[in-house]
Amino acid sequence: MEKTIISVVGKDTTGIIARVCTYLADNKINILDISQTIVQGYFTMMMIVDTTNLAKPFAEMASDLESEGDALGVQIKCQREEIFEKMHRI
Amino acid sequence: MINMNEVLETNRMVEEETLDVRTITMGINLLECADRDLDVCCKKIYDKITSLARDLVAVGEDISREIGIPIVNKRVSITPISLVGGACCHTPADFVRIAQTLDAAAKEVGINFLGGYSAVVSKGMTRADELLIRSIPEAMRVTERICSSVNVGSTKTGINMDAVRLMGETIKATAEATRDNDSLGCGKLVVLCNAPDDNPFMAGAFHGVSEADAIINVGVSGPGVVHHVLKSIHGESFEVLCETIKKTAFKITRVGQYVAQEASRRLGIPFGIIDLSLAPTPAVGDSVADILCEIGLERAGAPGTTAALALLNDQVKKGGVMASSYVGGLSGAFIPVSEDQGMIDAVECGALTLEKLEAMTCVCSVGLDMIAIPGDTPATTISGIIADEAAIGMVNQKTTAVRIIPVIGKTVGDTVEFGGLLGYAPVMPVNPYSCEAFINRKGRIPAPIHSFKN
């Protein structure tokens, strides 16, 4: 399984999760876990997704989601889960 | 499972604290490119570099994109060219031909620096070594991306003072040859003692003869991250201070370890080492001097600086060693002046002198680095500075280096602009008393007594 972390940070607005999830469903990306909170008025969400069946290159998905984020006024980042595992676990 | 705080912490390190991986450096063995015919030798060198390193930049950019952490430099280090060109180079101009070939190969594969226009002459110089050293000024003038280094001593061999004398003259000649660019050629030329074979950092990188055919070495960085985390424990005990630096160094180094393993896998080239370094850049907030100030100094250079730096250097290693399977290279905090805004400020306000920097090099990597001095400094004085640094390295069994720029036409009070990663530097005063009679002695300084360990 190829796990990717998608993090979304920005001003809260309607439809952020809906729009991100639609993109993920369209691209055969399965959501494994979602956590979401509002910190000082800022929407903060982290998704752990499975990109094993993703048909396009990782970089293309990352830039697609960045554009979705721009349209919503939030910052969306896609990063391989391994980097966080390496950094934060012994 | 990864939690949100860990993701946000990593991303804050990148966005606000300038976390990056400083360099992926591919070491390439060029010994098999040696040939009696200069044209054939150049062709073999060009072909080997451009085929092995063809995908280096693209792979580096892919990894960076996928983990969301910048990988600033993609570079190549090669076998010291004095060994490769020995059979076909009969004049310094012949070696310059090879330098131009290397520069063309570096441009072709898209890397910003290629290191290894080098000679290792710790005990003696071969004819080829001397020709290469004499070619350095012209090579630095006609190339853009080539870095040159000369190893003039080691703990096992002592210091080759004939090479030290020649390097003083070579640095002056390189400054003259590149005077139109504020003597920038000297920013790509370093004189070392105890040079490691697997250093990924420029200008001293070369692929030593103890290495395999090709290897991936990674240099990590992160002074901004350490500085930021220390702010949160302001005034705490040394125990807390040291533990905090160690934990931070661990995280930073793990990024490097991951990048190195991924690059190695994707390029099909073995992983060599991680260089655990705090390498500053001219960017605000990416400064080793700022860390020293956060530890408790008003300015870098104040009394206590050497102790604070020793502590920092040691904790970075202790945290980093645990995070990486193989550690090598220079591994320690760098203290270049022109590439660190905090160091520049300290020099400009008079807190930091050349002599204090020399003391600091006893406890960290690497040496007197990116320091501008007056253009009329005698070659013998530059040799004296090199000899002092080499002696520190030789006696303390560590790598030391001198990358010093006698800026032609400039004097104390002037500022030199090198641009980009090399930054800018105030011209620093040099002790005016002569060491000419010392430097003009022939021969070498014997190896120290504690090198005889057998």
Distance (Å) from the C-alpha of residue B285 to the closest C-alpha of chain A?
Answer: 22
Cβ contact A80–B66 (<8 Å):
yes
Q: Which residues of B touch A33 (CB under 8 A)?
A: 1
Kindly state whether residues B176 and B262 are assigned to the same domain. Answer: no
Whether residue B453 is contained in a domain is answered as no
Cβ contact A35–B4 (<8 Å):
yes
Range of the structural domain that residue B48 is part of? 27-193
Q: Which residues of A touch B66 (CB under 8 A)?
A: 58-59, 62, 79-80
Q: Which residues of A touch B258 (CB under 8 A)?
A: 82-83, 86
Range of the structural domain that residue A29 is part of? 3-88
Kindly state whether residues B163 and B230 are assigned to the same domain. Answer: no
How many domains does chain A divide into? 1
Cβ contact A85–B255 (<8 Å):
no
The predicted structure's pLDDT at residue B332? 85
CA distance A2 to B267: 20
Distance (Å) from the C-alpha of residue B236 to the closest C-alpha of chain A?
Answer: 24
Q: Is B148 exposed, middle or buried (0-12, 13-18, 19+ CB in 10 A)?
A: buried
How many domains does chain B divide into? 2
Kindly state whether residues B158 and B298 are assigned to the same domain. Answer: no
Whether residue B454 is contained in a domain is answered as no
Cα dihedral B224, A86, B267, B205 sign: positive
Cβ contact B2–A37 (<8 Å):
no
pLDDT in 10s for each residue of chain A, 90 residues: 899 999 999 998 899 999 999 999 999 999 999 999 987 788 999 999 999 999 999 999 999 999 999 999 999 999 999 999 999 988
The predicted structure's pLDDT at residue B281? 87
Distance (Å) from the C-alpha of residue A4 to the closest C-alpha of chain B?
Answer: 9
ipTM: 0.91
Q: Please give the structure tokens belonging to residue B291.
A: 């860390």
Ranges under pLDDT 50 in chain B: none
Taking the whole predicted model, whether its pTM rises above 0.90 is answered as: yes
The predicted structure's pLDDT at residue B285? 83
pLDDT in tens, B273-311: 999 889 898 888 889 999 999 999 999 999 999 999 999
Whether residue B19 is contained in a domain is answered as no
CATH number of the domain that B369 lies in?
3.20.70.20
Whether residue B106 is contained in a domain is answered as yes
**Which residue is associated with the tokens 């253009």?**
B375
Q: Which residues contact B289 (CB under 8 A, 6 or more apart)?
A: B280, B299, B300, B335, B340, B341, B342, B343, B345, B346
Q: Which residues of A touch B7 (CB under 8 A)?
A: 5, 7, 46, 79, 84
The predicted structure's pLDDT at residue B421? 75
**Out of A9, A35, A83, whose CB is closest to B67?**
A83
H-helix or E-strand spanning residue B21:
strand B21-28
Q: Where are the beta strands (DSSP E) in B57-188?
A: 71-78, 114-120, 146-154, 158-160
The predicted structure's pLDDT at residue B1? 80
Identity of the amino acid at A25: A
* Chain A positions touching chain B (beta carbons under 8 Å): 5, 7, 9, 33, 35, 37, 44, 46, 48, 58-59, 62, 77-88, 90
Chosen from A83, A85, A89, A90 to mutate, greatest number of chain B CBs within 10 A: A83
